[in-house]
Amino acid sequence: MSYLFINLKLCIQILNLINNNMSGNKTLSIIKPGAVRNKHIGHILSKIEENGYTIAAIKTIQLRLEDAAEFYSVHQGKPFYQELIEFMSSGPIIAMVLLKDNAVEDFRKLIGATDPEKAAEGTIRRMFATSKTANAIHGSDSDENAERESSFFFSRQEWLRRTQVGLD
């Protein structure tokens, strides 16, 4: 029995090495259409990098309404859902995979509250958002969602691993 456990443990360690064990060290961010339209991309990217994040993948795309509906399906049925997906498909977005220890939690602090009026001074939403819907930036709210959201926009081949950007 212990032989089986040791082999199982070894297999898990190997799989973690193969997958680079990114849990807790990755988040997905989206610079939303309003911030792109208002030419805040450079300022937001600077703020992200100044706070210790490494951009492992980045692309500019325009979501179709169907894409936005799929991405935000967790909010389907909520009062803001239709407005959100219409806004997110209204213009180009910048999708990014960001790497840093404690990525999700730290990024949520960096971007601030969803409502820019309630966001702390110095947060991205306080600085660049124009409303609760046009709140400038999206950030994953959990490690699990970071994985799901990252794979929505990027294949594993499209983003650099921690070892490739010198974090391990």
Which residues participate in catalysis according to the annotation? 138
Any idea which residue has 């190997």 for tokens? Answer: 14
CA dist., res. 11 & res. 54, Å (int): 29
At a CB cut-off of 8 Å and minimum separation 6, what does 41 contact? 31, 35, 94
Tell the burial category of 105 from Cβ atoms under 10 Å away from its Cβ (0-12, 13-18, 19+): middle
- Beta strands 54-61; 137-139: pairing state: unpaired
